[in-house]
Amino acid sequence: MAATGQIFSRTTQALFYNYKQLPIQRMLDFDFLCGRETPSVAGIINPGSEGFQKLFFGQEEIAIPVHSAVEAACAAHPTADVFINFASFRSAAASSMAALKQPTIRVVAIIAEGVPESDTKQLIAYAKANNKVLIGPATVGGVQAGAFKIGDTAGTIDNIIQCKLYRPGSVGFVSKSGGMSNELYNSIARVTDGIYEGIAIGGDVFPGSTLSDHVLRFNNIPQIKMMVVLGELGGRDEYSLVEALKTGKINKPVVAWVSGTCATLFKSEVQFGHAGAKSGGEMESAQAKNEALRQAGAIVPTSYEAFEGAIKETFSKLVEGGKVTTVKEVKPPQIPEDLSTAIKSGKVRAPTHIISTISDDRGEEPTYAGVPMSSIVEQGLGVGDVISLLWFKRSLPHYCSRFIEICIMLCADHGPCVSGAHNTIVTARAGKDLVSSLVSGLLTIGPRFGGAIDDAARYFKDAYDKGLTPYEFVESMKKKGIRVPGIGHRIKRGDNRDKRVELLQLFARSNFPSVKYMEYAVEVETYTLSKANNLVLNVDGAIGSLFLDLLAGSGMFTKQEIDEIVGIGYLNGLFVLARSIGLIGHTFDQKRLKQPLYRHPWEDVLYTK
């Protein structure tokens, strides 16, 4: 490892690879706790994505740039010299090598476990040859108290405060284990003035930097007065520390313990948690390493339970010898609590911004009006049943859902010449996308095209409920200057009825308990046909009147609910849903046929002054 002293400071900034909200937010919260003026995360690298991610720096919300490539991020943030890699073990090596090759990057931390050993060796060789620092793989990272921390190092804010990591102490700590690092940060804070810097080198067989690399580095940092080392059985990393101690390269007290002494109780070789925690012979045993460290001059307790006591005793001697000055205690600022956390703990309450009563996606599977998705599929329910759940918030009888499906099928399309289809075709031929083409057709739906179903239902219901005769109803509408919605057709006549209307009426007479509103609409049609042969009951009028019969005859809706359904526009929604099928079809048809831009012919326009 190239570094011979301090590798982090209060101004250190990092690039974070593979966006993870929680570890980044923990880094920013640590920054705020330490009183940093600038966030420690300068940029995020998320392959294939660019833009910004919103996070909190104290109480202030900030936008951190997101880059799609390592090279672009390094160019945009030349002062960021730490690369924190949260990629999976599959891609960690490639992205780490890309970072090591950047002249601005000085330190690379690889979080992933299981990086192929051959890849790790290449990374180590490149880092060594180019004077770079490599921490990991399989590491939680490291921390310089009061200055900078990597990802999830030291855990929660409560733990960080308990370990006094918001301000520098006098102890340098290095371990293979990230989890045990948290434990030792607590122990060290209890019996000393706390950590100055802590590093977890990672538990893989080939760590990017070794225990001795960091102890030698700590030895050159004036603020560090003693070192604490936690090793583990397996490998021979600790022997490089033994050699450094024997040759006098380390002149500060080292308190060390190698865990795994219990391995001798097992008859066969045991693999402990880390890939490297596996004794390959007597020299790699915890007992042998502890004895070698003790003979080299390290302070080695008799057991892990005595580790904290040894640290305390060593620190007390330094204080007594005047080598450690008292650290001035500071009260860290209060980290603002996230709203979601505060709500869960019952500390605050906040109003919701949206109300939803038709569906819920919070459980193991989405539900429609309380019915699980799997149940819908298992029962063989259809589109009509889904509409009944999402629109009417109840399961309607089969004849009702079947009627809804028939309406959708019969209204799906009415040829290319009607206004909606025409608009969609023109838009598609202009090269616009599916959604634009669909919407251009849907926007023509209104009182004159397909949007009269609600009005037909509203007027037929009002007239029937008031007991008006067809004559009284039609003539009263005439006096108001209102055409009767649902009556009249540009093509169909009394002697050439709309087949769709006949099919709907046939289904209703065969399946509905009552068709009183439809029969009233037919009586109105009989009267209007006496006025003109094209004043037939059209599909809008048929659906409008039959939907009234469906709502009233099913016995599942109150009068108030029926009035609300008609008033809100449910029935026009049925036409919109149905016609969307045809408009999408027209869009695909024009795209498939590769039709050119449409221009209306001159001969079809009356040019006049």
Do 449 and 587 lie in one domain? The reply is yes
The mean of the pLDDT values for the chain is 93
CATH code of the domain covering residue 72: 3.40.50.261
- The predicted pLDDT at position 276 comes to 46
Residues 508-521 pLDDT 10s = 999 999 999 999 99
State the catalytic residue, choosing from 67, 77, 214, 274: 274
Residue 335 lies in a domain: no
**Residue 272 binned pLDDT confidence (cut-offs 50, 70, 90):** very low
- Which pLDDT belongs to residue 604? 93
Least confident among 128-137, 154-163, 331-340: 331-340
Block residue for tokens 């919407």? 439
Residues 6+ apart with CB under 8 A from 481: none
In this prediction, residue 31 carries a pLDDT of 98
Specify the pLDDT at position 43. Answer: 98
User: In this structure, is residue 4 part of a structural domain?
Assistant: no
Average pLDDT on 252-257 reads 98
Packed helices 570-592 and 434-442: angle between N→C axes, nearest 10 degrees: 140
Q: Is the pLDDT of residue 207 over 70?
A: yes
- What would the 3-class secondary structure string for 437-465 be? HHHHHHCCCECCEECCHHHHHHHHHHHHH
Same domain, 288 and 427: no
Average pLDDT estimate for 397-422: 94
- The sheet with strand 367-368 has its strands ordered as 359-360, 367-368, 371-372
Number of structural domains the chain divides into: 2
pLDDT value, residue 177 = 87
Asked if 77 is an active-site residue, the reply is no
Min mean pLDDT across 67-81, 276-290, 385-399, 483-497 is at 276-290
Structural domain harbouring 494: 412-593
Is residue 200 classed as helix, strand or coil in its secondary structure?
A: strand
- Domain assignment present for residue 559? The answer is yes
In degrees, rounded to 5, the angle at the alpha carbon of residue 24 between the alpha carbons of residues 176 and 339 is 125
Is pLDDT larger for residue 282 or for residue 556? Answer: 556
Say yes or no: 135 and 277 in one domain. Answer: yes
Q: What is the pLDDT of residue 262?
A: 59
pLDDT at position 342 = 87
31 in any annotated domain: yes
270 pLDDT above the threshold of 80: no
Q: Which residues pair with 61 in a beta bridge?
A: 56
On whether residue 120 sits in a domain, the answer given is yes
Of 253-267, 419-433, 568-582, 584-598, least confident by mean pLDDT is 253-267
pLDDT for the residue numbered 244: 96
Contacts of 598 (CB under 8 A, 6+ apart): 425, 426, 429, 430
Q: Which of 286, 321, 356 is the last residue of a domain?
A: 321
- Give the whole-angstrom CA distance, residue 422 versus residue 220: 80
Same domain, 317 and 418: no
- Tracing tokens 């943030």 back to the chain, one arrives at 77
By C-alpha distance, which of 42, 41, 66, 71 is closest to 53?
A: 66
Give how far the C-alpha of residue 333 lies from the chain's centroid of Cα atoms, to the nearest Å: 30
- Residue 280 pLDDT greater than 60, yes or no: no
DSSP code of residue 40: S
Mean pLDDT, range 352-381, rounded to an integer = 94
Residue 230: what are its φ and ψ, rounded to 5°?
A: -120, 105
Residues 295, 155 share a domain:
yes
Cis peptide before 137 (omega within 30 of 0): yes
Assigned token pair, 588: 């695909």
CA gap 299, 279 in Å, rounded: 23
CB-CB neighbours of 114 under 10 Å: 13
Could you tell me if 438 and 582 are in contact, meaning their C-beta atoms sit under 8 angstroms apart? no
> Of 272, 289, 321, which residue is a domain's last?
321
- The β-bridge partners of 149 are 143
Do the domain assignments include residue 608? no
- pLDDT reported for residue 263: 44
pLDDT of 195 strictly over 90: yes
> For residue 1, what pLDDT is reported?
62
Same domain, 273 and 141: yes
pTM of whole model > 0.85? no
The mean per-residue pLDDT over the stretch 76-104 comes to 97
Confidence of residue 327 (pLDDT cuts 50, 70, 90): confident
DSSP one-letter string for 223-257: T--EEEEEEESSSSHHHHHHHHHHTT---S-EEEE
Say if 173 falls within a structural domain. yes
Q: How confident is the model at residue 2 (pLDDT cuts 50, 70, 90)?
A: low
pLDDT (average), residues 571-587: 94
Asked if residue 222 is part of any domain, the answer here is yes
Domain boundary among 321, 354, 372: 321
* Cα–Cα distance measured from residue 191 to residue 324, given in angstroms and rounded to the nearest whole number: 14
Q: What is the C-alpha separation between 168 and 10, in angstroms, rounded?
A: 11
User: Do 163 and 283 sit in the same domain of this protein?
Assistant: yes
Q: Give the model's confidence band at 138: pLDDT under 50 very low, under 70 low, under 90 confident, else very high.
A: very high
The token pair that represents 32 in the structure block: 């705020």
The predicted pLDDT at position 567 comes to 87
Model confidence at 265, pLDDT cuts 50, 70, 90, reads very low
The answer to whether residues 442 and 311 belong to one domain is no
Q: What is the DSSP string of 481-503?
A: T---TTB--SS-BTTB--HHHHH
Find the DSSP H helices in 321-382. Answer: 339-344, 373-378
The better pLDDT of the pair 242, 262 is held by 242
Residue 175 CA: distances (Å) to CA of 209, 215, 248, 469, 504: 11, 10, 22, 93, 78
Residues 511, 403 contacting (CB under 8 angstroms): yes
For strands 82-85 and 171-175, give the pairing.
unpaired
* Residue partners of 221: CB distance under 8 A and separation at least 6: 5, 6, 172, 196, 197
- How many Cβ atoms are within 10 Å of 153's Cβ, its own excluded? 26
Q: Tell me: do 299 and 427 sit in the same domain.
A: no
Question: Domain with 516 in it: what CATH number?
Answer: 1.10.230.10
Q: Which two tokens stand for residue 74?
A: 């390094």
Percent of the chain residues topping a pLDDT of 90 = 83
C-alpha 490, offset from chain centre: 52
Per-residue DSSP letter, 139: -
Residue reference for tokens 């795209």: 591
Q: What is the DSSP letter of 45?
A: E
From CA 564, how far away is CA 558, in angstroms rounded?
10
Joined together, the tokens standing for residue 538 give 């059209």
Residues 418 and 317 in one domain: no
Shared domain for 91 and 198, answered yes or no, is yes
**Average pLDDT of the residues in 374-381:** 95
Arithmetic mean of pLDDT, 29-36: 97
For residue 222, report the phi and psi dihedrals to the nearest 5 degrees: -60, -35
